[in-house]
Amino acid sequence: MTAESREGFERVAEIDLSHIRHNVKRLAELAAPAKLMAVVKADAYGHGAVPVAKAALESGAAWLGTAHVREALALREHGIDVALLAWLHTADTPFEAAIEADIDLGVSGWELPVIAEAAEKAAKTARIHLKVDTGLGRNGATMERLPSLLVEAQQLQSEGKIRVVGIFSHLAVADEPDRTETDDQIQVFREAIALTEAAGFHLEARHIANTPGTLSRPDAHFDLVRCGIGIYGLSPFADQSSEDLGLKPAMTLKARVANAKRVPAHQGVSYGLSYQTNEESILVDVPLGYADGIPRSATYAPVMINGNEFRSAGRIAMDQFMMDVGPDQDPEALIGQYAILFGENGPHVDEWAAACNTINYEIVTRISGRVPRRYIDGAWGRTDD
Ligand SMILES: *Cc1c(COP(=O)(O)O)cnc(C)c1O
């Protein structure tokens, strides 16, 4: 082992902020004149909410979005003072703190009186975006519920407790651009906007598009688009790559090879011995496992070492997984090399998603807090902090 390898990161998710900036710029240009909300929920899909939010704001994002109020409050605590929306609430959501921190709140229905009460305590008007279910069947008011919600909102707005500044919805199948349900959803959304405006509300922000909607449906842009996966450089479409979309994946996941050794033919590998070597071979131990967010369902997943691609062998364990790299490698030389699971100079996240029978969103988002994040800024700009 060299001194250099002892100083580096044993296991690291490297986030290239220059790629985040590139992707935000590209999506903001596509969305214009609509504005771009960078969706940084779930710790920015595993990339780190604060550094990603700052990079996004430097490169054209006008808004930030999170699912939970607590995620939004954490951004405020880091001095981020731009327009910020949170939309997924429960009876224990800290609404009063949200109103005090100027966080806009999505409202499906039941939250409205609760938020009005919190606004009264905070002695401050809450900024509300009404959420409409135009077809996703998740949260949001149904079109049947919307008229009564508008009446409630008129009353609370006249009392100065709330102000309805936006209306939004979420698309269900925009990642499959041929499906007609998106047309239906946009049509219902237009009806909801018309109803809301007819009720006397002046809407600053009408928004329905996620990343796939932003990329494939200019008629879904309205005033604002909410992009998550695209700002991380990943494609929401099954038949288009990051490169096809002009996006650059921002996360590289890698770890130093922990061990490598020669074993005989028919050596069982990892729990259950579900994999066996065909011949005398070299086994490599990569110190990333399901505690680090590597799905246990991964089978035959690709890993690059020194420009050579190998595959995972046998079950993913809590802390590590194994690879069979064949008989021709030098085990001594492999120990301490970087095994790149995906990202720069490695396989694509999409290949890991395929190997785990899931989507790229899940692969990056579930990389756990056990893996240190390291921020770089282009190939040469190190911004370790
Ligand atoms: C997560 C989320 C988004 C972002 O979706 P992407 O497909 O990652 O762009 C947008 N809007 C809402 C309501 C979301 O929950």
CA-proximal residue: ligand 1, atom 6 (nearest):
228
Same domain flag for 204 and 259? no
CA-based end-to-end distance of the chain:
26
- The atom number, within ligand 1, closest to the CA of 37 reads 10
pLDDT at 384 over 80: no
Residues making up the chain, counted from first to last = 385
Tens of pLDDT, residue by residue over 76-133, are 999 999 999 999 999 999 999 999 999 999 999 999 999 999 999 999 999 999 999 9
CB 61 within 8 A of CB 232: no
The residues annotated as belonging to the active site are 41, 271
Q: What is the CATH number of the domain that holds 173?
A: 3.20.20.10
Same domain flag for 43 and 100? yes
pLDDT band, very low/low/confident/very high, at 55 (cuts 50, 70, 90): very high
Question: Quick one: tokens of 3?
Answer: 């001194």
Last residue of a domain, one of 227, 258, 278: 227
Distance 250 CA to ligand 1 centre (A): 18
Query: What is the Cα–Cα distance from 371 to 385, expressed in whole angstroms?
Result: 15
Ligand 1 binding pocket mutation candidate from 24, 30, 39 (most atoms within 8 A of CB): 39
Query: What is the Cα–Cα distance from 199 to 50, expressed in whole angstroms?
Result: 38
Long-range contacts made by residues 186-191, C-beta under 8 angstroms, separation at least 24?
Answer: 186/134, 186/217, 186/219, 186/220, 188/132, 188/134, 188/135, 188/143, 189/132, 189/134, 189/222, 191/143
Distance 199 CA to ligand 1 centre (A): 28
- The atom number, within ligand 1, closest to the CA of 211 reads 9
Q: What is the CATH number of the domain that holds 292?
A: 2.40.37.10
Question: Is 264 domain-assigned?
Answer: yes
Give the residue carrying structure tokens 């405020």: 76
Same domain flag for 254 and 219? no
Same domain flag for 170 and 298? no
Ligand 1 contacts (CB < 6 A) are 39, 41, 67, 87, 170, 210-211, 226-230, 236
Tens of pLDDT, residue by residue over 311-364, are 999 999 999 999 999 999 999 999 999 999 999 999 999 999 999 999 999 999
Query: What is the Cα–Cα distance from 15 to 18, expressed in whole angstroms?
Result: 9
Same domain flag for 76 and 185? yes
Give the residue carrying structure tokens 């399901």: 290
**Per-chain mean pLDDT for the chain:** 96
Q: What is the mean pLDDT of residues 260-282?
A: 97
Higher pLDDT, 246 or 380: 246
Ligand 1 binding pocket mutation candidate from 210, 215, 237 (most atoms within 8 A of CB): 210
Question: Is 366 domain-assigned?
Answer: yes
Q: What is the mean pLDDT of residues 214-236?
A: 98
- The atom number, within ligand 1, closest to the CA of 168 reads 13
Question: Is 370 domain-assigned?
Answer: yes
Same domain flag for 164 and 104? yes
Same domain flag for 180 and 273? no
Query: Is 318 among the annotated ligand-binding positions?
Result: yes
* 8-state DSSP, 102: T
pLDDT band, very low/low/confident/very high, at 383 (cuts 50, 70, 90): low
Same domain flag for 98 and 154? yes
Question: Is 242 domain-assigned?
Answer: no
CA-proximal residue: ligand 1, atom 8 (nearest):
228
Question: Is 41 domain-assigned?
Answer: yes
Q: What is the pLDDT of residue 3?
A: 44
- The atom number, within ligand 1, closest to the CA of 361 reads 8
Query: What is the Cα–Cα distance from 308 to 54, expressed in whole angstroms?
Result: 35
What are the backbone angles phi and psi of residue 324, rounded to the nearest 5°? -100, 110
The pTM (predicted TM-score) of the whole model is 0.96
Distance 49 CA to ligand 1 centre (A): 15
pLDDT at 5 over 60: no
Q: How far is CA 261 from CA 267, 269, 284, 335, 337, in A?
A: 12, 12, 7, 9, 14
- The atom number, within ligand 1, closest to the CA of 87 reads 13
Last residue of a domain, one of 178, 196, 227: 227
Helix (H, G, I), strand (E, B) or coil at 328: coil
Same domain flag for 157 and 125? yes
Distance 77 CA to ligand 1 centre (A): 23
Question: Is 16 domain-assigned?
Answer: no
Q: What is the mean pLDDT of residues 2-7?
A: 49
Give the residue carrying structure tokens 């921002």: 250
pLDDT band, very low/low/confident/very high, at 381 (cuts 50, 70, 90): low
Same domain flag for 294 and 360? yes
Query: What is the Cα–Cα distance from 207 to 37, expressed in whole angstroms?
Result: 10
pLDDT band, very low/low/confident/very high, at 2 (cuts 50, 70, 90): very low
Question: Is 324 domain-assigned?
Answer: yes
Q: What is the pLDDT of residue 79?
A: 97
What are the strands, taking DSSP E only, across the chain? 11-16, 35-39, 63-66, 83-86, 104-107, 126-131, 162-168, 205-209, 224-227, 251-256, 259-263, 268-269, 275-276, 281-286, 302-305, 308-313, 321-324, 338-342, 373-377, 381-382
Last residue of a domain, one of 227, 242, 276: 227
Query: What is the Cα–Cα distance from 137 to 155, expressed in whole angstroms?
Result: 27
Same domain flag for 107 and 186? yes
CA-proximal residue: ligand 1, atom 1 (nearest):
228
Q: What is the pLDDT of residue 226?
A: 98
Distance 21 CA to ligand 1 centre (A): 18
Question: Is 281 domain-assigned?
Answer: yes
Distance 226 CA to ligand 1 centre (A): 6
Same domain flag for 115 and 170? yes
CA-proximal residue: ligand 1, atom 4 (nearest):
228
154's CB contacts (< 8 A; 6+ apart) are 199, 200
Range of the domain at 343: 4-11+250-384
User: Into how many domains does the chain fold?
Assistant: 2
Q: What is the pLDDT of residue 378?
A: 83
